[in-house]
Amino acid sequence: MPGFVVLHAGQTRRIEPADRQLNRHLRETHQKPQPLHRKITPNVKQSDLMRIIVHVDMDAFYAAVEERYNPALRGLPVAVGADPKEGKGRGVITTANYLARKYGIHSALPIARAWRLAEAARRRGEPATVFIRPNFPLYREVSARIMQIFERSADAFEEASIDEAYLDVSSRENFPTAIEHMTQLKAEIREKEELGCSFGIGPNKLIAKIASGHRKPDGLTVVASDMVQQFLDPLTIRVIPGIGPKGEAFLHQRNIRTIKELREIPEATLTEWFGKWGQRLFEKARGIDDASVSNEWTRKSLGEQETFEEDTRSPSVVTERLYSMAERIIGKLREKEFSGFRTVTVTVRFSDFQTSNRSHSIKNGIRVDNDGEALRLLKQEALTLLSPFFDAQENPRGKAIRLIGLRLEKLF
Which residues contact ligand DCP by CB under 6 A? 57-62, 94-95, 107-108, 162-163, 216-217
Closer of 126 and 159 to Mg ion (Cβ) = 159
CA distance 298 to 276: 23
**Contact (Cβ atoms closer than 8 angstroms) between residue 283 and residue 200:** no
Residues 6+ apart with CB under 8 A from 116: 87
Backbone phi, psi, residue 366, to 5°: -115, 125
CA distance 213 to 3: 12
Closer of 94 and 177 to Mg ion (Cβ) = 94
- Shortest distance in whole angstroms from residue 38 CB to ligand DCP: 37
Closer of 22 and 208 to ligand DCP (Cβ) = 208
Closer of 60 and 329 to ligand DCP (Cβ) = 60
Pick the piece of the chain touching Mg ion (CB under 5 A) from 61-69, 141-149, 219-227, 271-279: 61-69
Q: In 3D, which of 91, 87, 63 has the Cα closest to residue 75?
A: 63
Which H/E stretch holds residue 168?
strand 164-168
- Shortest distance in whole angstroms from residue 343 CB to Mg ion: 33
Is residue 251 packed enough to be buried (19+ CB in 10 Å), middle (13-18) or exposed (0-12)? Answer: buried
- Shortest distance in whole angstroms from residue 185 CB to ligand DCP: 17
Which residues, 376 to 405, sit near Mg ion by CB under 5 A?
none
CA of residue 182 relative to chain centroid, distance:
19
Closer of 61 and 139 to Mg ion (Cβ) = 61
Closer of 210 and 348 to ligand DCP (Cβ) = 210
CA distance 329 to 305: 11
User: What does the longest C-alpha to C-alpha distance in the chain come to?
Assistant: 80
The site partner of 62 among ligand DCP, Mg ion, none (C-beta below 5 to 8 Å per kind) is ligand DCP
- Shortest distance in whole angstroms from residue 246 CB to Mg ion: 23
The site partner of 216 among Mg ion, ligand DCP, none (C-beta below 5 to 8 Å per kind) is ligand DCP
Q: Give me the amino acid identity at 328.
A: R
Residues that are catalytic: 164
CA distance 359 to 220: 38
Among 26, 58, 142, 146, the residue binding Mg ion under the rule CB under 5 A is 58
Q: Is 57 helix (H, G, I), strand (E, B) or coil?
A: strand
Q: In 3D, which of 310, 314, 327, 323 has the Cα closest to residue 385?
A: 323
Asked if 66 touches Mg ion (CB under 5 A), the answer is no
Give the contact letters, 163-182, x = binds to Mg ion (CB under 5 A), - = no: x-------------------
Residues making up the chain, counted from first to last: 412
Asked if 57 touches Mg ion (CB under 5 A), the answer is yes
Phi-psi region of 368 (alpha: psi -120 to 50; beta: other; left: phi over 0): beta
- Shortest distance in whole angstroms from residue 111 CB to ligand DCP: 12
Asked if 147 touches Mg ion (CB under 5 A), the answer is no
- Shortest distance in whole angstroms from residue 318 CB to ligand DCP: 41
The site partner of 107 among Mg ion, ligand DCP, none (C-beta below 5 to 8 Å per kind) is ligand DCP
Binding site for Mg ion (CB under 5 A): 57-58, 61, 163
